């Protein structure tokens, strides 16, 4: 297990699912951890009481709100950008305002948060974005906007890794496949379609994703940057 004792971590979108598992793992590895939430105050309170992590309410699509959170976390060592939304449907039928909101949270939010954190982060810090295997592969209709947003994350980490590399700050993208959360339960209606195309025919767990994040946040990953880390049970193989 990585030793993150003395490190200061911020998880954007950390009250439920993958985000909550990441908060638990960072705390267990020794990091002083703050997480944001937007629409799940009860879940945030439960997680804070369980872990001792600090909850802060902030809309991840609001650049100024996120900037204020980052500013008050100085000096920051680890930033995990987990907040994201998914919209699926026939593109002409999806409300343009819903797509704009998806872009605000999934693309503009990670970009501005990563840039702002990079300016204030300690040297040798870690920026980790939670993307999706759908940035590489969209195997069914109706996912154009979501795939667009997750492909954009790939470009962000490649470019920002070079911008921050001279300070030893690494920037990486974790790309989960199907993971058992409220948004995509392991017993949900899409499970058979998803599992049919996988080498390991099951949903992943949030804790498995958190394990990948913990490695990238730790000292052994100091030479890993600008990369896409797919953890999907062979969904994209």
Q: Give the residue numbers marked as catalytic.
A: 146
d(CA 122, CA 38): 27
The most distant pair of C-alpha atoms in the chain lies apart, rounded to whole Å, by 50
d(CA 79, CA 180): 23
Question: Kind of pairing, strands 32-37 and 8-12?
Answer: parallel
Let me know how long the chain is.
237
> Shortest CA distance to 173 belongs to which of 229, 235, 231?
229
Q: Could you identify the residue written with the tokens 């001792």?
A: 52
């Amino acid at each position: 297990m990585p030793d993150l004792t003395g490190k200061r971590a911020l998880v954007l979108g950390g009250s439920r699912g993958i985000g909550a598992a990441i908060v638990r793992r960072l705390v267990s590895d020794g990091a002083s951890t703050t997480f944001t939430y937007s629409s799940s105050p009860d879940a945030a309170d439960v997680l804070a009481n369980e872990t001792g992590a600090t909850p802060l309410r902030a809309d991840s699509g609001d650049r100024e709100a996120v900037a204020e959170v980052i500013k008050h976390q100085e000096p920051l060592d680890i930033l995990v950008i987990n907040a994201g939304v998914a919209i699926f449907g026939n593109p002409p039928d999806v409300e343009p305002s819903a797509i704009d909101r998806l872009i605000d949270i999934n693309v503009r939010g990670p970009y501005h948060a990563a840039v702002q954190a990079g300016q204030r982060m300690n040297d040798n810090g870690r920026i980790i974005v939670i993307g999706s295997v759908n940035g590489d592969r969209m195997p069914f209709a109706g996912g154009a906007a979501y795939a667009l947003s997750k492909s954009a994350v790939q470009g962000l980490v490649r470019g920002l890794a070079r911008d921050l590399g001279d300070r030893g700050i690494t920037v990486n993208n974790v790309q989960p496949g199907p993971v058992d959360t409220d948004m995509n339960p392991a017993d949900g209606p899409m499970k058979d379609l998803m599992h049919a195309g996988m080498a390991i025919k099951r949903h992943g767990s949030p804790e498995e994703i958190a394990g990948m994040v913990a490695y990238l946040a730790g000292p052994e990953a100091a030479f890993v940057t600008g990369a896409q880390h797919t953890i999907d049970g062979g969904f994209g193989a």
